[in-house]
Structure 1
Amino acid sequence: MQRATRVALVVGLIIAFLLIAAGGYVWLIALGDKRIESKLLALRHAGEPTSVEELWRFTDAGGEKPQDTRFAEVVTHANEIRKIVENSYAPALMDENGHLTEAGRERVAEAFQKHGTFLELVEQFLQNPPPPVPPAGEPTPEEHLRWSVRVVQDADVVARMLRYWGLFNGELGNTREVLRAAQYLQKLGQWIGTYPGSMPCNSALRADADAIDLCEVILGHPNEVEEMAVLRQSLLDTRPLEACARALVVDRALGLSLLARYPGRNSLWTRFRWNQVYLGYLDLFERLVRDVEQASYSAVTSALEASGLPAEADAVKMVIPTVRRCVNEAFAVETRRRECLVALAILHTPAQEMAESDQHLLDPNKLNLPKDVVLDPYSGTPFHVVTGSDHCVIYSVGPNQKDEGGKTLEGADDVSFRFAWRPAT
């Protein structure tokens, strides 16, 4: 009798424990659901999309629009130029220093001579480019990604051909044409940057990077600084990190659409795990957007490395790699943008004020620039400056945040900008 009582008591305790555990499990699921709904509601109130469908409803790109074929014509010419310039069977186009080879210069000259209307078509298009045209119908995440790839491929080939034209004229000493190519690249980047997501943002950032490369070409020649006045304001207005943050908001919506299709979200047994992944995804992008806006590279990389999200989830496999590329590209372009502005400021500063030791930290007080422009985005400290007899190099410590003297080869990853400059004697 006593034994039966003890058995019944044990069984009762086990059942009670299981009921309490089940109740606690259901309560945790309900708590997670409530947190998710609260976060999504806050995003919608802020005007930020939480799905691909909302994305295209929020953007002012929907509705029927007349077909604009101007960019398609530009892309057609760019592809014809590319076939000549990037001919894989011809001798090398560029040397190890990033300069056009003799054979490369010949191919660029031939291609632009055969397609002499390319630059005029680019100019006409960029004078009044159309707004983004969304995918047809209600886009799925896959359709959105395919649409992004098509947009990016076309923009990238146009940007590369403009860069070749700028480099070609830079080696000929034709600064006016280099400047023209740089302006077109800036405007192309501004236009493609109006398309939502990290892929178009990456393409826009690459166009900005190409424009800054051409600025470096112009400033590599003495007495060409006045030619840069037309680009300076555009460089000041360009905000790569802000563009990246906007792209992350879109990519969050893409990832949330993918997470919403997870088959276990409606199962009681897997709902708790799904809630944790969903909340982790929201928290990750909240951190990323904030840290990118604050130009905190170390915080961004830490957030990506410590996210704890399952690598097998579609929202991770299809979104996070592009996010990483966008963040890395944004910090690299932001660094080069600031270095170019610092170079222009130095060139407009009396030489005797900058004539210091061969290598030193930049003194922000000597330059007429916003405070953030003179700071290295990777470290948050002033840029390093190396002066020579006829040139000056501004450099950042790069992603590894180690001062490697401005080197970019043999494992070093400093980000540098070189320009012609004569110190006071």
Structure 2
Amino acid sequence: MLRFLCTALMSVSLIPYSYAQKSILLKNGHVVDVEQGKILQQTDVLIEGERIVKVMPNISADQANTTIFDLKGKYIVPGMIDMHVHLPGPEGEDIPMKDFMRMSLASGITSIRSMRGHADQLPIQDSVRKGFLMGPSMYLASPAFREDSAHVLFKDIPTAIERYKSQGFQYIKYLSGKTPGYYDSVYKYAQLANMPLVGHAPPGGLKQAAIQSPLSVEHIDALLAVYLKDPAQFTSLMKACEEKNVFFCPDVYWYLVTYQVLPLHYLQKKPGLSQLPPAIVEDWSNRYTKVKARMSPTDYTAMQTKWQKQIDATLKMLKAMNAEGIKLLISPGDGEFIIPGNSYYDELYYFKLAGIPSADILKAATINAAQALHDDANIGSIKEGKYADILVVKDNPLQNIIAMVYPQMVIVRNRYISASGELADVLQ
């Protein structure tokens, strides 16, 4: 454990960036108001320390003490937030931490929620928070509660939750269980500890989630089970979830990769793979191939066909959920061929393919996520007093969310990565 942590800390410190000893002034840009879905034309943004201090036209500043960027009509957008990450290490893929951090930041991911918490992640989170390390801000869920393992026994739930709270985890993660009673106990003691409950749907499915209202529900399985069987009940349960402010993170791209709807030759050509160690890509390819080898050709084709239909239904369902006012979240999930940063934009693409307006997708990636993290006072939009987590993009993302794919600049608090050098190398 200690060796992993020390390696992670030393590696992340190698990320190249520019540190602004001065203030930063972004001039002649258009600020994207993600909450209202509109553009503030020709608006400047002044950053002092870690925070935005002014958002208005024609800001003047002392040039001797200010780093000034003339954006020439580019768009200023809040940093993207990935809401379902498994960080490298004991609970995630074997990607070097330096590559994970570097690729996430260069792609515009300025905050992440770890959904497979581990004690090793706490000091890394603290180092990022204090500015010792350059990386996305980290929000950590606890180690997962799983009834079908000896991880946390039923009788130990109260003490485990108190322990995770005292260690510094911010959310309680529920993964799986056979009986509603286990979930009920996790929910009860999380509430008593004032820790939001996040994770997979409870054994009682969407109906139980609508009653108990966890902060967020991950994946599509529980949603599809009701949507395909009883659309009227689905609409009713969605209204109940909307009233209780339950967020949903579908992780669509994870299903496309995991159930091999996307062919291996396509995945092996994805941008970003060249930034990872070749051994990682080879391992992913081998794992993908072994799934196919274990199945008969008939069963393999049936799996792909089934999940293509499931994805088609999911896209229709997500469009309906968005129309009902359900707050959606963005993440491609975690696993083989889920590339840090890069795959996040695959998820945005499938939201767009679902027919969800670009303005709503951008809200899901920013202010919705900030609200789900209970930190919208600090992140999620371009406003005075908030942290300077900012992307600069060439085109208007409210018209086409794909504009977010190639950020020209990434600012994290008072540090920035420009479109030259490292950012260009990672984005290719």
More helix by share: 1
Q: Larger RCO: Structure 1 or Structure 2 (Cα < 8 Å, ≥ 6 residues apart)? A: 2
> What TM-score comes out, normalization by structure 2 length?
0.26
> What TM-score comes out, normalization by structure 1 length?
0.26
> In terms of Rg, which structure is larger?
1
